[in-house]
Structure 1
Amino acid sequence: MTNSKQHPIIVVGGGIGGLATALGLAQADKYVKVLEQAPEFGEVGAGIQLAANATNVLQKLGVMDKISENAVFPKRLVLMDAFTGKELSALDIDQVYRERYGAPYIVLHRTDLQKALLDACVAHPKVELLTNQEIKTAADNGDSVEVFTAAGESFTGSAVIGADGIWSKTRKLFVDDEPICSEYVAYRGAIPMEEVASANVGDPEDVYMFIGPNMHVVQYPVRRGELYNQVVVFKSNQYRKEIEHTDQWGTPEEMDEVFKDTCDRVKTAISYISRQRRWPMYDRNPIENWTQGNITLMGDAAHPMLQYLAQGACQALEDAGYLADMVRKHGDNFHQAFLDYQKERLPRTAYVQTSARNWGEIIHTTNPITTLLRNKILENRTDKDYTYIDQYHGYKKVLEEVN
């Protein structure tokens, strides 16, 4: 079916990936309708890290200038020992990094990224945004697609892109699987930077990750440096399958016990962290197919991953950029565009998914021999050795490369 205002591409989900996809498709001269389940567009959580593979896409979408108004451009990523407080290794993410990858490494508040993408979508005449749309399923009718809501309504379009996150309903069209609980939980929050001034932290412009057995803490500034974002992560020894969907495991009291013997800087972070909400950490296994006819998936609906490489949103933005390129290349032949998109993106994201799991095992190891080997490898590299991140941050696919 020819794409038109009456038969738009329907994007299910208005998070970071969904809005970036909608914007990219609109810039490829397609009409797009975004269906968001919540009453309003917004992001839950605090900070987010975006490497060059993501900021290259944001530059391409034309929103980096707006995002830069609220982002922070850190100079180093620093890996620390959570118990000794010793610096294990660092990575220069300043000028050398930008020159290498063609885009900056930024940290910012999730709501600031969401707002920049949302404002760009609102301003684009080919994007329509609808809220309060709980989607149950979708169907490919050959010459059209239809999306069905929990309220009994339906929307007809020329194609469907499922961007509805880790608990995706559209994913069920391709596989009957469930998110996998890692047995880790995260506590997140951002505090005013003036409070940090009296706290025991390092350079407030750097990104710190303190690692230890079955736990880590991440710290970095957001919102022009006015807030300090902190994430505390640990594996719960109280986890059991039968209580997975309750708040009886990964409690604040367990967090205090896990981190009681860490260094002063980590203890200070724990004392400042918000305890009102915890985030159990899930991913899913990679799948062999997420495209059928004029329906495809992107972002966490296609390849949810653990946060240990800070690549979840980055991979969603890669999806958005490449998907827009394939639609631009194939016009209204969405089936072919989606097949070409999947051919490139499925193996790439499956690799990053499994790498995130592996990296989690490495940083959280409880084995003293593995810890020793890991630390020796880290200590023997320089801050301008990009060997371990080239495969992630160096990904840069544009239409000219795939024609």
Structure 2
Amino acid sequence: MTSPDSGDQTVLIAGAGIGGLTAALALGRTGRPVTVLERRTKVEEVGAGIQLSPNASRLLIDLGLGPALSRAAGEPKRLVIRNGESGRTLAEMPLADAMRQRYGAPYYVVHRADLQTILLDAVRGLPNVRLQFGRTVSSVDTEGDGVTVAVETASGPETARGALLIGADGLWSRVAAAIGDHTEADFTGYVAWRATIPVGDVPPLFQKPETGLWLGPGAHIVHYPIRGGQVVNVVAIMKDREAERGWSRPGDAETQRRRFRNWAPELSGLLSRMDQWLVWSLFDRGPRETWTSGRVVLLGDAAHPVLPLLAQGGALAIEDVAVLSRELARTPGDVPGALRAYEARRRPRAKRVQAASRANATNYHLSGPFGLVRNVVLGRLSGTRLIDRYDWLYGWKPEAD
């Protein structure tokens, strides 16, 4: 690459997850050269779905991904909240048409691998974007009008240079550490078990085009159809004492069945048919003290991890990209100033989403009298009143930030 002080405008992005690829697409579409550095030798997402609420789907559609998303993603007709132990329906919230009418964008559910493929195809279609795999950031040096990044590869060290570096490398961000933030994330005491199963192998209740949320003491389960309704994605979040980094270690199906053996028969029937699980220990941390240092900036979980109890981890990273690209376009001659403006605009939003997600970790898992009160309150809410609670979340647009 050319030296940064020769006028190079290359954007370096560490991480080829949802946030990193969305950033590559958004900035690459402006004509800027972009290089994505990914530590993995290939990008693959297995065994999990992702929900794209209107605040995220509208941004991806604006980036030209609407047709591809409409083919790969589904739109559940409603959210049904049930008592995990009795199976009784507590509340329902319309999705699909209601989301489009109210927020002007769909509420999608999609397999992560499909979303990753859509983003990769779009990025690879841009001649000014380079994807480099098997490269791990080891150090960062901000010098003058550019950034120099030392990169570890299987064949030896390399150096990448550009006008700025975006750290989209997740909860255990190497970029954050490289700019001096070594804050460790803490284990929450919860783990997420994730699995998919062919729709033909599940009981009729789980074949419906809807999202299900089952609440119970110390745990909850979410399920929804993906891949054209041919597969059901299931996520169970529950307490656990053991923690391990990563989000794809195998889980013992029998352990899972024992954990939920006293829950509703319908749910136990579903779990009895599922044999392959991936387990993800949930770590958490508040927003870092700063997301920027000179020409280096963090986004997504690298800046503000979000527990998967509000379905907003990927969405918040996509929002970050929208604001970051906008600030860079506003002041192209002042990159550090644009990065600081991005952080100032995003920090309050990120903190609010983090807090709401953590609150769900408590509310979803209430037991005894507190659980009964929660169920009564939910039972008194109409679908419209439930949606009202999410206006601040789903109705977000960059202009309102």
TM-score w.r.t. structure 1 length? 0.92
Q: Does 1:211 find its partner at 2:215? A: yes
Instruction: Look up the match of 2:18.
Output: 16
Distance 1:107 1:67, change over 3 A: same
DSSP 3-state at the match of 2:85: coil
Matched residue SS, 1:273: coil
Distance in 1 (alpha carbons) for counterparts of 2:375 and 2:250: 31
Q: Tell me the residue number matched to 1:230.
A: 234
Q: How big is each residue's C-alpha offset from its partner over 1:217-248, in whole Å with a ceiling of 9 and x where there is no partner?
A: 11111011111111122112xx15xx656999
Mapped to 1, the partners of 2:395 and 2:262 lie a distance apart of: 38
Question: What is the aligned partner in structure 1 of residue 199 from structure 2?
Answer: 193
> In the alignment, which residue of structure 2 is the partner of 1:165?
170
Name the residue aligned to 2:358: 357
Deviates more, 1:180-189 or 1:311-320: 180-189
Greater strand content: 2
| C-alpha contact (below 8 Å) 2:187/2:284 kept by paired residues | yes
Equivalent position of 2:283 in the other structure = 282
What secondary structure sits across from 2:272 in the alignment? Answer: helix
Decide which of 51, 62, 68 is 1:49's aligned counterpart. Answer: 51
Partner Cα separation in structure 2 for residue 20 and residue 274 of structure 1: 33
Counterpart of 1:155 (choices 157, 160, 164) is: 160
- Contact 1:15–1:43 under 8 Å retained in 2: no
Q: Secondary structure of the residue that 2:101 maps to in structure 1?
A: helix
Name the counterpart of 2:147.
145
**SS across alignment from 1:182:** strand
Alignment RMSD, CA only? 2.3
Question: How many aligned residue pairs are there?
Answer: 393
| Aligned pairs (5 A) from 1:252-291 | 252-291=253-292
Indicate the SS of the match to 1:146: strand
Aligned twin of 2:380:
380
* Alignment-derived partner of residue 189 in structure 2: 183
Contact 1:174 1:290 survives alignment (8 Å): no
SS in 1 for 2:288: coil
Look up the equivalent residue of 2:126 and give its one-letter code.
H
Q: Distance in 2 between matches of 1:190 and 1:3?
A: 50
Q: For residue 303 of structure 1, what is the amino acid of its counterpart?
A: H
Q: d(CA) in 2 for partners of 1:227 and 1:248?
A: 21
CA positional deviation for 1:170 = 1.0
Q: Is the 8 A contact 1:5 1:126 kept in 2?
A: no
Note the C-alpha offset of 1:6.
Answer: 5.1
| TM-score, length of structure 2 as denominator length | 0.92
Give the aligned partner of residue 304 of structure 1.
Answer: 305
**Structure 1 contact 15–42 (Cα < 8 Å) conserved:** no
Amino acid in structure 1 at the alignment position of 2:233: N
Flag structure 2 segments of 5+ consecutive residues without an equivalent. Answer: none
Structure 1 alignment gaps of length 5 or more: none
**Shift of residue 202, structure 1, vs aligned partner:** 4.3
Report if the CA contact (8 A) 1:144-1:156 is conserved. Answer: yes
Distance 1:250 1:116, change over 3 A: closer
Q: Take 2:191 and 2:30, find their aligned partners in 1: how far apart are those partners? A: 39
Cα distance in 1, alignment partners of residues 261 and 239 from structure 2: 15
Change (3 A) 1:193 1:31: same
The 1:93/1:2 distance shift into structure 2, 3 A limit, reads farther
- Inter-partner Cα distance in structure 1 for 2:175 and 2:211: 35
Instruction: Kindly state the Cα deviation for residue 333 of structure 1 after the two structures are TM-superposed.
Output: 2.2
Tell me, what secondary structure is at the counterpart of 2:131? strand
Amino acid at match of 1:346: R
**Structure-1 residue corresponding to 2:294:** 293
SS at match of 1:278: strand
Paired letter, 2:214: F
Q: CA deviation at 1:30?
A: 1.7
Q: Any idea what the Cα deviations from partners look like across 1:116-135, whole Å, max 9, x if unmatched? A: 11111000122111111112
Deviation (angstroms), 1:365: 1.6
Say which SS state the counterpart of residue 66 (structure 1) adopts.
helix
User: Would the aligned equivalents of 1:282 and 1:305 in 2 still touch at CA under 8 Å?
Assistant: no
